Amino acid sequence: MTLPPFTKHYETPERAAGAVRHYRWIKEHAKPLRQPALHEIGPASLAFERVEGRSVRPDDLPRMAELLGRAHGAAWRSDLQSASLGTPHHFNDGTPFDDYLGPREIALRRRHEQGYLPNKVALYAMLGLLEETAQGPLAFYKDSNPRNFIITAAGDIVTVDTDDLSLAPMGYDLAKLIATLHLTYGSLTDQAVKAAFCAYNTAAGCYGSQLDVTNRGRLDDFLALHAVLTAPYFGRNGYHWPLRSHLRGTP
């Protein structure tokens, strides 16, 4: 039986056009990520192949880490070797691909205004940490939370919700997956986290030896950033377990 398509509606035609642009970029440059077929493009809506399955769980982490490593390695080799974390990249049509630093600096300052960072010392500590992590080979960030992947009954992994992409260091989006698995299911073991970044490095390293850069210290820095950036969503969207960060410079 053929399932009816899934239609996603957008606030503006520009948002829909951006989602198409990101979908096509992943299809061209991050081939290891399987996406649902895009059947129809409307003025402010997209109709996708409907995929049935479940979201990612903690026991899927090693396989997911390997998939992200392959996708990030492929994108680096295909399009991102010459990109810079502090400068917007560009798609083929000339539209910008958000950089790593700018949007996150804005978001961290907003978290301070919202009260998620207790004082200016904490804000400057996180801004400093953001600067420290802006190094090494580039990948992309697609918000790898458990709900943005579907695992089918056959065991296939399908990537959904690629509406927003930005540049990011290798390992940053893996850290987002680890952070959101923790927020959803509770603490992951150190062994599980180590197995994840080892699987990620092995997969990414197939595309270039210089991509084997993610270690526990680097991952912990990314997790500290994600703890602040995701703070407003705690208690919503299935995020029930707090992700605590050790904020540098805080009392």
Q: Give domain 54-233's CATH architecture.
A: Alpha-Beta Complex (3.90)
So where are the chain's domains? Answer: 54-233
The SS3 of residue 138 is strand
Strand, coil or helix: 110: helix
Share of residues in the chain with pLDDT > 70 (%): 96
Q: Which of 3, 46, 40, 13 is nearest to 160 (CA)?
A: 46
> In this predicted structure, what is the pLDDT of residue 243?
82
Which residues in the chain land under pLDDT 70?
1, 244-251
Q: How far apart are CA 182 and CA 108, in angstroms?
A: 21
Tokens for 26? 């992943």
- 164 contacts 22 by C-beta, under 8 angstroms: yes
Instruction: Say how far apart CA 235 and CA 139 lie, in whole Å.
Output: 30
Closest CA to 162 of 2, 4, 11, 38: 38
Residue 115, token pair as written in the block = 């009260």
